[in-house]
Amino acid sequence: MRRFLHTLLVALLIAGLGLPANAEQFIGGAPQPQLTADLITSLEYKGTPTGGTATFSRGSARVFEDWEGNYVRTANTNEAVFKARRLHNLLATSSVPATQNVTLGYGTYMLQVSGTGTATSAAVGATITGGGAASSGTPNIFNVTAYGTVSVTVAGSLTGFALYNITGDSDQTTEREFIQSDVSYGAGVVGVKYFDTELDGTPIPAATLTGYQYDGASTNKIAGAYNAVGPDMLGSELLVNGNFTAWTADNPDSWTVVEDGDASSNVTQNPAGQCNIISTGDSAYIYQIKTTTGRRYTYSVEVKSITGTILIKSGTTTLLTVTTTGIKTASFTATSSTFIIVNSGACNAVIDDASLKELGASKLDGTFWSGGGTGAKNTAAATAAIPGQTHGGTGSTTITDVSAVITSTNKYKRLTPATKWYVTTASGSDATVDFTGALSAAAHTISLVAYGATASDVLTLGTNTVAGTPQTVTTAPLLYTQTLTANAADTMRLTVADGDTITWCLMQAETGTVPTSRIIVEGAAASRSRDALTIPVADGTNFRQREGTASVDVTWGFGSASFEDGYVNILAANANTNSSIYYYHATSLRLRTIDGTNTPQDVVPDFALGDSITYKQTHSTAKNKLNVYSTTGGWAAATAYDGAYTIGTSWQFFYSSAYPAALKNLRVLGTADPGGM
C-alpha cells in the first residue's frame, strides 16, 4: 500500500509539474535502469527515455570462428559479429521469390522454400553436386566444389525462399528458420540474424555466448599469403571404394559387411555400382575402420532411395538418422575408429558416393575464393606459383614457376582447392619457406595455421633470433603465433625439418603483440577496418550525471602479458581512449576511470586469453565519490567526483583498441553502487 501511494504521488507530481515521463529517476523511489544492452545476438538496447539499435560500422569484411568452433565464417562489411548461431540468407528479395543467380564459394548449401512450388539449384559457372528442387518441408542440399555462379529457378507460388551456407554445421539436414534478405535483425546489415539457441531450440550455454565480438584495425603484410577464404583444409579421401564400383561375391570391396545374406538381412549390389541395404529387422550394415577418436571429420553419403531408416554412425554414436533421399553430409568428432552405415529396423535403402575426410586446420567457408591457378596435386611438376615467396633447402630461389625449382624429393606445391600449401622434405636438408612482406623495425606478431608437422618444424621471423624463441609447430591443426621485434628486411619463415611434411594456411604478419582475426589476402597486403560500436548518451538519456553505475562483462581475446604500454579502452565517452572504464599499463596493469578531473585506479592482476571479467564504474554527487571495479581486483580507492562525468554524446566500446575482445550485458543504473562508495 505504501509503495502504491508513493507511486501515485510521484505520478501526480510529474503530471502537475509538467515533467517528462522519465522524471521518476530524479525524484527518489527505486531508480529505473538507464540503459540495458545485452549485446548477445543483436545491437538492440532499451534505454531511458527510449531504446533503439546501437550504431555499428566496419569498412571491410572480417573472418571469425563460428559458435560451434567448427568453421571460420565471413562477416559482411558493417556486420557486427556475435558468438552465437548465425544465419545469412544469400538470396535477394526473399519475401517475393524470383529466379536469380548467386555467386558461391566452395562449401555445402541449403536451399529451402515456403509456399506452393519449388526453387531449383543448378550450376552456371560453378561446379556443384546434389543440385535440384526444394519444396516446402524438403530442402535441397548441394555442394559447391568449384567457385562460380549457381542459378536458383522459381516455379509455382512461393511465399519465401532462403539459401544458407551450412558448411561445417554439425546439423546439415534440418531446415533453418526463415530469414528475410531485406530485413534487419539487429546485426547492422540486412539478411543476417544471430540466435542464442541451437537449431532444435536448446539454449546455447551462457559461457559460449560471450556477446559482441570486437576486433581492431590491422594489416596482414604478407603479400603472397593467399589467405583467401576458401575450402576447409580437408584431408585426402579415407574411404576405399566409396563409389561402390568394385564388388566381390556380392559384397563391396574394402567394406566389412555384416548380414544374414538372405531376405531378412542383406547387403547387395542393386543397381550396378550402388549399395543396397535390405533388412526386415536383423542387422545389415557396412563399415570401414578409418577414424581416430577425438579428431574431426566430414562425411557425405548419397541416398538414392529408401524405405524405413538407416543410421550413419561413428562406432556406437549415431551421427544422422536417415529416412529421406538426397546427399547427407555433416561434420563430426569421432568417438570410435569405425565409420558405419547400418539399418535401424526394417529398411530398404540404396546408397552411393560415400566419402569421409579429416577436417584440417583452415576451417573456411569459401565466400571469397575466386581461383588463381589450381596447380597439380601429388605430382612433382606442380605449376602454380606463390608470388613473393622463396623456397630453400637445396638453395633459396624466388618462386615464379614451381616446376623449375621443385624436385620429387623436395616438393612445394599448392593443393586443390587452392587455399593451403605443403612442403615435403626428403632431400637430406631442411627446407625453409619465407613469406615476404613490408615489415618495419617494430614488434610484429606472425602467425599461421599449420597441420601435420613435428617438433622439429619451427616458425621464426626471418633470421632474427635475438628477440624471441622460435615457435615449435606440432601435429595438431592449430594457430601458431610468435611475437618478435622485426628488422626491416625480415621475413616470416617456416622451417620444415628433413623428412617432414607440413600443411599450412592463413599466414599473417601484423604490427603489434597480439594476433588478430585472419585477414583475407590474395596476392597483395590487405587491411581490416576496426569495429566501431556506439550508443547515444547524454544526461537524462541512458545516463544520469549526478549519480549512477555502469557495468559490463568482457571476455578477452588476448592476455595482458602481451599488452604493450599504454591504454586499452573498454567503455569510453565519444572518441576518447581513457574515460569511463579502461586499462592503463606502464610498470603495472591498472584499471581506471576518470571524470575529467579525478582518476581512481586499481593495480589489478594480469588477465589471460579467454578470461571473463565484470567491470563497473560508479559516481555520486551527493557522496562526492567516484570509483572503478573489476571482479579480479575488486573496488579501487574512491576519489572525489567533480559532478560532471565525461560522457560526450555516445558510449564507445574498445575505442581505438587493437586488441580482440568480446562484450555483453551493458547496464547503466541511476544510482551509485554502495560497494564503491
Give the residue, 42 or 459, on which the prediction is more confident: 42
Task: Mean pLDDT check: name the lowest of 220-234, 580-594, 655-669.
Answer: 220-234
| Among candidate residues 405, 430, 420, 416, the one with its CA nearest the CA of residue 378 | 416
CATH class of the domain comprising 247-358? mainly beta
**pLDDT, tens digit, 9 for 90 and up, residues 598-630:** 999 999 999 988 899 999 999 999 999 999 999
Average pLDDT over residues 386-395: 32
Neighbours of 604 (CB within 10 A): 20
Listed by start position, the domains of the chain span 1-30, 31-54+532-676, 75-210, 247-358, 389-528
What is residue 471's predicted lDDT score, i.e. its pLDDT?
A: 58
Average pLDDT over residues 522-533: 80
What is residue 456's predicted lDDT score, i.e. its pLDDT?
A: 65
- Distance between CA atoms of 422 and 430, rounded to whole angstroms? 14
pLDDT value at 417 more than 80: no
Give bridge partners of residue 470 from the DSSP assignment: none
pLDDT value at 379 more than 60: no
DSSP SS3 for 286: strand
The CATH architecture to which 389-528 belongs is Sandwich (2.60)
- Distance between CA atoms of 151 and 88, rounded to whole angstroms? 18
Phi, psi of 4 (to 5 degrees): -65, -45
pLDDT value at 157 more than 90: yes
CATH code for the domain defined by 31-54+532-676:
2.60.120.200
Mean predicted lDDT score pLDDT of the chain:
77
**pLDDT, tens digit, 9 for 90 and up, residues 47-105:** 888 789 999 999 888 878 778 776 667 888 899 999 999 999 999 888 899 999 988 87
**pLDDT, tens digit, 9 for 90 and up, residues 561-603:** 877 778 888 998 876 766 889 999 888 899 999 988 999 999 9
Give the residue, 420 or 36, on which the prediction is more confident: 36
Average pLDDT over residues 14-31: 42
Alpha-carbon torsion (364, 366, 370, 375), positive or negative? positive
What is residue 491's predicted lDDT score, i.e. its pLDDT?
A: 62
What is residue 76's predicted lDDT score, i.e. its pLDDT?
A: 85
What is residue 328's predicted lDDT score, i.e. its pLDDT?
A: 87
Q: Where are the beta strands (DSSP E) in 208-337?
A: 212-214, 218-220, 247-248, 251-252, 256-258, 265-269, 275-279, 285-289, 296-314, 317-322, 326-333
What is residue 481's predicted lDDT score, i.e. its pLDDT?
A: 66
| Among candidate residues 565, 585, 586, 556, the one with its CA nearest the CA of residue 654 | 556
User: Do 31-54+532-676 and 389-528 share a fold?
Assistant: yes
Give me the amino acid identity at 388: G
